[in-house]
Amino acid sequence: MNTAINIRQLSHSFGNRAVLRNLSFSVTEGDLFIIIGPNGSGKTTLMRAIAGILKPQRGEMEIFGRQLSNYKRKEFARSVAFVPQGLPIDFPFTVAELILMGRAPYHSAFGIEQKKDYEIAKQAMRFTEVEQLAARKLDQLSGGEQQRVFIARAICQESQILLLDEPTASLDLAHQVRIMDLMEKLKTEKGVTVVMVSHDINLAAMYSDQLLLLRDGKIVCMGLPNEILNFSTLEETYNCKLLVDNSPLGNLPRVTVVPYKFLK
Amino acid sequence: MRLKLSNIVWRILAVSLILAIVLAVSILTGLFFGPTGSVKQTLATIFQKETLNSMHQTIIWQIRFPRVLLATLVGATLSLGGLVFQALLRNPLAEPYILGISGGSAIGAISGIMLGLSRFPGVSLTAFLGSLATLGLILIMTTGQSILKKESLLLSGVMVNAFCSAVILFLISLTHDSRLHNILFWLMGDLSTADMRQVAILAAMLFPCFVLIFWLSHSMNLLLMGKELAQTMGVNIKLVTLVLLVTASFMVSATVSYCGLLGFIGLVMPHLLRLLLGSDHRVLVPACIMGGGAFLAICDLLARTLPEQGEMPPGVITALIGAPLFIFLLKKSGR
């Protein structure tokens, strides 16, 4: 298996607060790679560094064996697509317009779409089941629909690596599963390497090939869900009372938080 | 399957064609109507070279024609300037006048007039420097993440504007000679001083800016989805932002140095067109140029013809139409 992302000794701090401390890990091509960790553990900063938005102060990063600095802007955009935690909808573009924006790294001057761009956009819409929303304005969509449209835009970018920052946050159960199933489908059908940040440990355990547990900008552990999601590690990392047992779905860990009133 | 992916090239062409017709009609209307001469006389003057009434001919070609063209250029520039600032600051309420950028170039222009500089390039240059200074001030005040917040941006704009007004009045109160009248009339917006040479110089300065902005219109679409996302789609954020800011400030200050302060066009036209045409800037840029031009040509026509005697500043009409229209749009879009 090839390495999609290789990170060596990555460090970054905001002022004198270290957010990422000497991180080294790699993501295998075609994996669904999920980063978990408590608030303020540096997940989003790490994601922004991989997306090329934030330039880390120290360390090296390779995408498909090439240094990040060796990529041209558009070339990098054709390799890595990013879905941030929500997009501004003050200027309501239609769903179709937004998804077509994903073709930007392939445009020449003036940004005029070709026939091929429309085809790829249609495919992305079919893949994410948002075709019927094409003419709607972004601000007329529900949270779940918006998230699928944002993902369709990223798919339209045809990058081999897809980064997502908490794509299931603030969605109901059905939509969470729908988004995660979509990621699974993207991985198996298109061979895309998916890297995402998540707060939902159980969802992460069910879908991920590799889990990275982050705390205070350091890697606590990394591996298969049932290797690393154990009671002692989690309780120490999240600093709260937890139960870890087996999921009824099979050999998967299930994490339950224990509220104070049950601790007697 | 109900996929509405209308071809962008056709949309740009169709919108441009329709608005070009509107613009042509506005220009012709502006040419036909005025205090002197009937429409019939004007028609005769335009289509027959040998006409008896040479005075009327002079009025049409030497006074009205450059004036209508100047109004068109200024209207186009101000509404395009509004569109650019709204996209850059990701704030639908941004506009050169409201942000205080017009005010800044007014200070620059008045200083230029007081120093006795010629209108071009002297006053244009001081106006440009003034607009860059206010732009810098606004960007410094709203620096960091807070630039995304509507309140802080508009609040600093209001403050900059108030400060500019005070400086302008201060400068005026220091002036006592013939330049005073010059400055005062120009503060309310004045299109009456147009001549063909000026219009040609202004057009030569503005057209490259229009092309440059159209060239960056797709990047403006991407910028509206947030700087970070635009960056991951391959946009050189710093370069695009800088080029757009400087180009828009240059355009606005060029027009301010020619015809003073005209508000509301930059706010109303982009909004109106966005409601009608959607948010795609590849359509909105040509639409703003032609729609804004037509709007000011009509406003100026009303300013010339409504009063029994003399004329009123065109800024009065743009505000009279613009402000209620803006409130109506604001209410309708439910913000």
State the amino acid at position A1 in one-letter form.
Answer: M
Confidence of residue A243 (pLDDT cuts 50, 70, 90): confident
Is the CATH code 1.10.3470.10 the one for domain B8-43+75-328? yes
DSSP state of A94: B
- Which pLDDT score is estimated for B142? 65
* CA neighbor of A96 nearest in space, from B1, B237, B82: B1
Sites in chain B below the pLDDT cut of 50: 1-5, 145-148, 335
Across the interface, of A48, A88, A112, the residue whose CB is closest to B90 is A88
Give the list of residues 6+ apart from residue A137 with CB closer than 8 angstroms, or none.
A92, A93, A94, A95
Give tens-digit pLDDT for A49-77.
999 998 999 999 999 999 988 999 999 99
Question: Hey, are the CB atoms on A73 and B224 less than 8 Å from each other?
Answer: no
The whole-angstrom separation of Cα A257 and Cα A249 is: 19
The whole-angstrom separation of Cα B84 and Cα A67 is: 35
User: What SS3 class is residue A222?
Assistant: strand
- Which pLDDT score is estimated for B3? 41
pTM value is: 0.86
Give tens-digit pLDDT for A76-113.
999 999 999 878 777 788 999 999 999 999 987 667 88
The whole-angstrom separation of Cα B180 and Cα B173 is: 9
Question: Hey, are the CB atoms on B233 and A132 less than 8 Å from each other?
Answer: no
- Which pLDDT score is estimated for B150? 55
Rounded (5°) CA angle B197-B198-B199: 90
Beta strands A66-67 and A17-28: pairing type?
A: unpaired
- Which pLDDT score is estimated for B128? 85
The whole-angstrom separation of Cα B319 and Cα A198 is: 51
What ipTM does this complex have? 0.87
Instruction: List residues of chain A with CB under 8 Å from any CB of chain B.
Output: 48, 51-53, 73-74, 76-78, 80-82, 84, 87-88, 90-94, 96-98, 100-102, 104-105, 107, 109-113, 118, 121-122, 125, 131-132, 134-135, 157
- Give the E-state strand segments of A49-141 in sequence order: 58-63, 66-67, 80-83
Kindly report the average pLDDT of chain A as a whole number: 90
Give tens-digit pLDDT for B141-194.
766 544 445 566 677 777 888 888 888 888 888 877 777 776 776 677 778 777
Residue located via tokens 């558009």:
A74
The whole-angstrom separation of Cα B234 and Cα B84 is: 20
